[in-house]
Structure 1
Amino acid sequence: MLTITDINTIRNLRNNHDKSIQHISNELNINWRTAKKYADNDLIPKLKTRKKTGMLYTEKWGGIVALWLSEDAKLPKKKRRTAETMTADLKAAGFPGSYRTVCIFIQDWKATHYLETQEDHGFERLEHPPAEAQLNFGTMEVCHDGAFKDVKVLVMTFPFSNAGFAFTLPAENQECLLEGMKELFRQAGGVPRKIRIDNMSTAVTQTKSRTEPAILTDGFLRFATHYGFETQVCNPRSGNEKGSVENKVGYVRYNFFSSTPIMKDFVSFNEALAKELAQDRERIHYEKQVRIDELWLTEKVDLLALPDVDYPVFKEMEVKANKYNEIKLDNERIHIPRARNYSIIYGVLRFDSYQLISTDGEIISEGLRPYMMKKRAINWQAIFLDWRIKPRAMHYSRYWKYLPERIKLFLSHPDWKEQDQRLNRLLSLLVTHDMSGIDAHFYDLLAASSEKDAYDIDWYQYDAFLSLPEEVVN
C-alpha cells in the first residue's frame, strides 16, 4: 500500500509537471493501474462497513436468538429470558457455540433495537444471624390449559446461608399467605425464629412509622403465635431491609419462570419447583465460597420445631344473596340456586375453594374460588405472523411448547412451502376459532382437508398412540 507521501508525489507529477501515467509508472516503479488510480481519481474517504461473521450471523442460530429477543422485547423485563437461559436452550438444540458468543450477539442486537438504562442505588449491608428468614410475594406467569395465567409465588429465604424456598399460589390474600407459609415451613423442616416482611396488607393493618410500631392482623398474629416465630416489619419503602428475599424473588423468576413454564396443576408444579430449588442449593455461596446446602444444614439446627398440630387456614364470613340469587366473592358474582331461600348463609373460604353453609350445617354450594379460573388467552394470530417471517426458527420459539400436540405435528412438515400454507390455514381459522377449539375439532377443520402426500399422518392412529398409558409408550 502506498503512503500519503507517495500519493502526493504521484499527484504532483501529474498535475503540476504534466507527466503521463506511463512516465509516472516507470519513474516510481509502480503498476500503471496504481499510478492511474492515484493520479486521476478523487481520493474521498469512504465509511467502511464491517459485515458480521460467525455462526450466529450466517447460520440459523442467529434467527432463533433474534426471534427470542423480539418476543421478549414485547414482555415486561421480569419475564424475559437471560443470556444464560438462551445459551442452555440453544445447546439443547445442538448449538456448538459458547455463552460468550451468545452474549456478544445479544449485545449487538440490543444496540440496534433498544437501549435500557438502569440506575444504581447503594444500601448499607445488613448482618443476618442463622434461622432468621425474609418473606415476600412475586408475580410470575405460567401456561395452564393452553392459556397464560398469573400466579403468586411466595418466596422465603434465609440470608445466612442464602437457602431459598418457594411455593406457588393463586392469589395474594391472607388465606394464600398462611397456606404458603405452612408449606414453606414444611419444606424447610422447621420454623424460622424471626421472619422479616414488608407492610403487606394481608399481615399488617397499620403501617410502621417513626413513632408507632406496625400492627399485625388478628389472623396473622394467631398464626405466628401458633408457630412461635417473631415478626419483623420493614420500614415503608425500604426494600433494602429485606434485600435477600427481593433478590431471591428475581432469581426464582429468571431461573425457573423465564420462559413461562407449563403448569398442569398447583400440586405437581409446586413439587417440581421444590425439587429444582433443592438442586439449586448445591451451588457455591456467592460470598462464603461454601456450598449453600452445607451452610443450610448448619443453619437448620437453629430452627424451631414444627408444632404437633397443623394450623387450619380458612376464613369465615357471612354472605348475602341479591334478588338474582347471586353472591359476591372475590369481586365476582356467583349464581347460587335458591340462595334467597336462606336468611343467613355462612361462607368458609380456603385459599383455593369455598363452601356456603346454612345455619343448619347444610352445604348449599361449594367450588373453586373465582380467581382460580382467571386466565389470559395467547395471541396466536400475532405469533403466527412472526413465524411466517422466520419459519425456520418457528420450532425454537418460546410459544412452540404451548401448542397442542396435534397442531405441533401438523406444522412440523418438512417442506417449507407446505409449512407456510398450513400456517396460513391456521391463521384463517383463528379469525373464528380459538386454539383449543381448533384442537378439539381438528379432524373437521384440518385433518380431513389436508392433502394426501408422503408426509401425511394417520391422525386417528396418532391419537390412539397418545392415549396409551405412559408405561406402555415407554
Structure 2
Amino acid sequence: MVWYRPIKLAHFRLAHSRQPFLVAYSRESLEMVFDAHDRAFAFWGGIPQRMIYDNPRTLVDAVKVGKARRFNRQFLALANHYLFEPVACTPASGWEKGQVENQVGNVREWLFSPRPRFQDLAELNAWLAQQCREKLAQRPHPDQRSRTIGDVFAEEQAQLRPVGKPFAGYVEKACRVSSTCTVGYDRNRYSVPAEYAGQSVFLRATATRIKIVQEGKSLACHARCFGREQQILDPWHYLP
C-alpha cells in the first residue's frame, strides 16, 4: 500500500546564476524557515548580500506602503546573524518575482512529473539536493545559453559571503509539565523527567527536534513528531 502525505517545499534561487536549492518539510512554520536558510547557505557554500521574499506570513508581520514591511523579530535575528538584507516584493508586482514564480512550475515539471516516491523526508531531501547539484545545475543558463547554470554558479559562488556558524533558530513556548510528565506541542505530547511534573518549563522547537529546558538546563530532547495526538515518551523519564 502506498501512503501519500502533503509537503511544503522551500525554494531558493540565486538571481545571477539561477542555481536553485529545494528542501521539503511537513509544515510551513518559522522553525522550518530557519532550517531552510541554514541548509541553503550550506548548499551554496556562501551567503548573498540580499534576499528577496514574496511576503510570506511566516516572515512578514505587516505589509505597509510600498516596500515598507514589519518583518518577524526572530527572522530579523536570522538576517542579522548571516548579515544579509531582507527585501519584500511589492504586492501585485509580478515582474519583481517572475524568476521564482516561473521556477515553481518548472520544478514541478522537471522533478515531480511523474511523481517520485520516497520512504521519508530525509530520503526526499537527499534526492532534492542531488537534483539541484546535478540535474538542474546542468540546464542551460537562460541568459548565457552556451553555458550551464553550474558554470555560472561556480563564478558567483566566489562572490558569496562565507557562512560561518549556523544560526541556532527555534520557536520557544512556555508551558507546564502535566501530571503524566508530558508537555504538548503541535498536537503531540513529549515526556519530561518525572521530578518536573507540575513545574513550568520552556519548550524549544526546531525543524527536527523538541527540547525542554528550565533555567538554562536541558531536561529532555526528542525527535520531532509530525503526526497528530501522538505521545513521544522516554521510559527513563518515568523510572523514579
* TM value normalised by structure 2: 0.81
Whether the 8 Å CA contact 1:161–1:299 is kept in 2: the answer is: yes
Counterpart of 2:232 in structure 1 is none
In structure 2, give the amino acid aligned to 1:300.
Q
Preserved CA contact (<8 Å) 1:191 1:305: yes
1:228 maps to 83
Name 2:12's counterpart in structure 1. Answer: 156
The equivalent position to 1:185 in structure 2, one of 22, 41, 48, is 41
Greater helix percent: which structure? 1
String of CA shifts for 1:59-105, please: whole Å, max 9, x gaps. xxxxxxxxxxxxxxxxxxxxxxxxxxxxxxxxxxxxxxxxxxxxxxx
Structure 1: gaps of 5 or more residues: 1-144, 375-474
| 2:157 is the counterpart of 1:300 | yes
For 1:362 and 1:241, locate their aligned partners in 2 and report how far apart those are by CA, in whole Å. 45
1:265-297, CA deviations, whole angstroms, 9 ceiling, x for partnerless residues? 333322221121222221222343132222222
Gap regions ≥5 residues in structure 2: 229-240
Aligned residue in 2 for 1:422:
none
Please give the secondary structure, in 2, of the residue aligned with 1:149. coil
Q: What CA deviation, in whole Å up to 9, does each residue of 1:126-175 have, x standing for no partner?
A: xxxxxxxxxxxxxxxxxxx9411111111111232222111122221111
Query: 1:348 corresponds to which letter in structure 2?
Result: R
RMSD of aligned residue pairs (Cα, Å): 2.7
Relative to structure 1, the CA distance from residue 239 to residue 320 in structure 2 (aligned partners, 3 Å threshold; closer, same or farther) is: farther
Report the TM-score when normalising by structure 1.
0.43
2:64 aligns to what SS in structure 1? Answer: coil
Matched residue SS, 2:217: coil
Residues 348 and 339 (structure 1), Cα distance of their counterparts in 2 relative to 1, 3 Å cut:
farther
The alignment covers a number of residue pairs equal to 225
1:247 to 88, 102, 112: 102
Task: Tell whether the 8 Å contact from 1:208 to 1:235 is kept in structure 2 after alignment.
Answer: no
How far, CA to CA, are the matches of 2:167 and 2:159 in structure 1?
22
Q: Quick one: distance in 2 between partners of 1:328 and 1:273?
A: 32
2:127 corresponds to which of 268, 272, 276: 272
Larger Rg: 1
C-alpha contact 2:177 2:197 (8 A) present in aligned 1: no
Kept in 1: contact 2:34–2:167 (CA 8 A): no
CA offsets, 1:283-337, max 9 Å, x none?
2223431322222222222211212x2221222221135678764422x153758
Aligned pairs for 1:29-428 within 5 A = 146-210=2-66, 213-279=68-134, 280-289=136-145, 290-307=147-164, 309-320=165-176, 327-330=183-186, 332-334=187-189, 336=191, 341-358=197-214, 361=217, 363=219, 366-369=222-225, 372-373=226-227
Percentage of identical aligned residues? 22
CA distance in 1, matches of 2:191, 2:94: 44
Q: Which has the higher contact order (CA 8 A, sep 6+)?
A: 2
Alpha-carbon distance change, 355 to 339 in structure 1, aligned in 2, over 3 angstroms:
farther
Cα distance in structure 1, aligned partners of 2:188 and 2:168:
27
8 Å contact from structure 1 (residues 347, 355) kept in 2:
yes
Q: Is the 8 A contact 1:325 1:336 kept in 2?
A: yes
